[in-house]
A and B are shown apart, each in its own frame.
Chain A
Amino acid sequence: MQVKLRVFRFDPEKDQKPRYDTFIMNVDPNDRVLDLLEYVKADFDPSLALRRSCAHGVCGSDAMRVNGRNYLACKVLVKNLNADTITVEPLLGLRVIKDLIVDMGPFFENYRSVLPYLINDEPLPADGKERLQTPEQQMRFEETTKCILCAACTTSCPSFWADDRYVGPAAIVNAHRFIFDSRDRGAEKRLNILNEQIGVWRCRTAFNCTEACPRDIHITQAIAEVKKAIITGKVE
């Protein structure tokens, strides 16, 4: 099938303003948007800049806007877009470094601010081995372990567009991952951080994050569980 691919181009060091390059190409309906971008790089313009690594939806490096919605370019097929014009743009709310590459700095700063690692200073169990938990205790936070930090959620959030100091859905998902882990002792610290002006209360339940997540994480629900823990003072 023939598609018209429109690609956002911008080099802040050279260009006054962004432009869109258009390519008419014959593609397979089963091609991924990432394949189309690779064709452009190989056959038309090797200067096109984008991040990608695994090409199999695992590393989280190629999140971008395709026809106005956030996807992993390597996980969205041409046939699933139901359109013969495909517009590819960088994620919103983060500074464009070049073409489809954005500055992930603020995103990872927010991620770090919620202490996304296991905190437990208590002595190890008597046998000196691992801290055990039941399968049920593991299932409590299983959902939020699936995050690959692609930023598709956070950059689809209107509150984040307004102010990139809002921790955003991805940081809350990763806080949830440890808050509800029975082996962790840092929940109180994280919940107090998320209770501040830039924390969970900036979430307006828009559900954009849940729709954008390529890992199908129930993000809005995870955020609600964190809000509930803050209000009730109970991690259940």
Chain B
Amino acid sequence: MTTTTRPVKVKRTFEQTAWLWMRYSAFLLIPLAWGHMILQDVVVGVHNINADYAIQRIANLGWKIYDIFLLGFAFAHGMNGVRQVLRDYIRNPQTFQVVSIILLVVWFVITMMGAIALLAINQPLGG
């Protein structure tokens, strides 16, 4: 026997989960954010993005889902990052816990509103 592997019981904490999600969301943002940027800014081109193009894109369920994922994960990543930045200024652990929960609720509400809006728009092409 050269090295030992010992199991340890470490209970999950909010901070640990938030740290892990910073990594999960960043990992998903690599295809999501880059895909979005390359498609809109390079393939389509910013000057060609107009109402017709937007309607056409949103008519596709696949793009709706892509956009909901992009919104959800980019926003979660950003909010989680803002939470980290705020931690440098909020010294009281209880206050910080409350701020964390408020940010989580704001993220959830805005993401839900975006998702509902995206799914609800079903305008006929050219309409």
Contacts and interface: CB of A to CB of B under 8 A. Distances in A.
B11 to A, nearest CB: 7
A54 B18 CA distance: 44
B88 A163 contact: yes
Contacts of A202: 87
B60 interface: no
Interface size class of B (residues with CB under 8 A): 20 to 34
Contacts of A197: 13, 15, 93, 96
Interface stretch (A74-82, A117-125, A133-141): A133-141
Given A134-B2, A192-B11, A163 B19 contact: no
A46 B53 CA distance: 77
A197 B92 CA distance: 11
Interface in A131-178: 134, 136-137, 140, 158-159, 162-163
Contact of B15 (A163, A199, A233, A236): A199
B9 A188 contact: yes
A197 B18 CA distance: 11
Interface in A169-200: 182, 187-188, 191-192, 195-197, 199
A159 B88 contact: yes
Interface of B: 1-11, 13, 15-16, 18-20, 84, 87-89, 91, 93, 96
Interface of A: 134, 136-137, 140, 158-159, 162-163, 182, 187-188, 191-192, 195-197, 199, 201-202, 204, 227, 229-231, 233-236
